[in-house]
Structure 1
Amino acid sequence: MKVKQYGAIPFRITSRGTEVLLVTTRTKGHWSVPKGWPIKDHPPHKTAEIEAMEEAGLHGEAALVPVGRFTNKRLKHGQPIRCKVDLFPFRVIAEFDNWPERLQRQRQWVDATTATTMVRKRGLKRAIRSLIEAQGRDCAGFSHDEIEVS
């Protein structure tokens, strides 16, 4: 059985380039990105925004179109399933010190190239690289212009 999940690749543009925020998984502590099950009455990119807040304490805007995907094995109701995780670029506007899963996860900003070495899933590595390439062209898919932060 294969089901959908939606994830956010949180990023910011600084004078040093594109940085990505990674979070640890709750069970094994691997570096990944916020992701979760579809949320009723929310489109996929909005689900990614909600997951970014719950898992990493981030407020921002997800692109309307995913930049990549990967497959993840999960247990749901005790049964193993394969999840196809669509990944949406997520431009971070604010970062909070207090968020729902702060006691269960670590988070870390790293340059995008380093992020590709820290994550394990090949599809996630490819999606981060695609995000870097999109930054070089234009960040199409967002409803507002790109904002540089320091």
Structure 2
Amino acid sequence: MSRTPKEELSQVAALPFRIKDGQIEVLLVTSRETKRWLIPKGWPMKGKKPHKAAAREAEEEAGVKGAIKAEPLGHYNYWKRRAAHFDLCRVNVYPLEVSKQLKSWREKGQREAQWFAVEEAALQVLEPALADLIRSLPQHV
């Protein structure tokens, strides 16, 4: 069975969250170029399970570590900007319960990171399916 390029474009993402004063909060980061709010994501890594790759992205982009679930919460699609065109990308999202925020990490200073209440986080992101995943988080915690 041959794979189409569309099927190959899949990414992994972490949905970092914490429970503070009984409320679930979600950590969003800004993209480097457009500064819009999103969750830490990247390409699968050779030799790493998808959820472990998602955890690595959270550490590099948001400076957080914690327990990540091996099963995705779900997925969303977005248009990945390329030099001359856009590619449709599917992103599998893994919930990450943050236990540690690092003082220094790889992309510190390149992105903003901010904690939001669940509904507020859902309103900040552009992709409706990602907003739905964020809203569904409390049922999975």
Aligned counterparts of 2:82 and 2:54: Cα–Cα separation in 1: 19
Q: Secondary structure at the match of 2:122?
A: helix
Does 1:39 find its partner at 2:45?
A: yes
Q: Where do 1:77-92 residues align within 5 Å?
A: 80-92=86-98
Q: TM-score, normalised by structure 1?
A: 0.84
Considering only aligned residues, what root-mean-square deviation do their CA atoms show, in Å?
1.5
Gaps of 5+ in 1: 136-150
Aligned counterparts of 1:69 and 1:78: Cα–Cα separation in 2: 26
**Residue 14 of structure 2, aligned match among 2, 8, 13:** 8
Gaps of 5+ in 2: none
Aligned to 1:30: 36
Deviations 1:51-88 (A, max 9, x none): 00000001112111111211122246866321100001
Aligned to 2:76: 70
- In the TM superposition, residue 4 of structure 1 has moved relative to its aligned partner by 0.7
Query: How many aligned residue pairs are there?
Result: 135
- In the TM superposition, residue 30 of structure 1 has moved relative to its aligned partner by 0.5
Q: Secondary structure at the match of 1:90?
A: strand
Aligned to 1:143: none
Aligned to 1:128: 134
Aligned to 1:116: 122
- Contact map agreement 1:66 1:89 (CA 8 A) in 2: yes
Aligned-residue sequence identity (percent) comes to 38
Aligned counterparts of 1:79 and 1:120: Cα–Cα separation in 2: 19
- Contact map agreement 1:68 1:123 (CA 8 A) in 2: no
**Structure 1, 103-112 or 77-86: larger mean CA deviation:** 77-86
Q: TM-score, normalised by structure 2?
A: 0.89
- In the TM superposition, residue 122 of structure 1 has moved relative to its aligned partner by 0.9
Call closer, same or farther: CA 1:30–1:11 in 2, change over 3 Å.
same
Give 2:32's aligned amino acid.
Answer: R
Give 2:130's aligned amino acid.
Answer: L
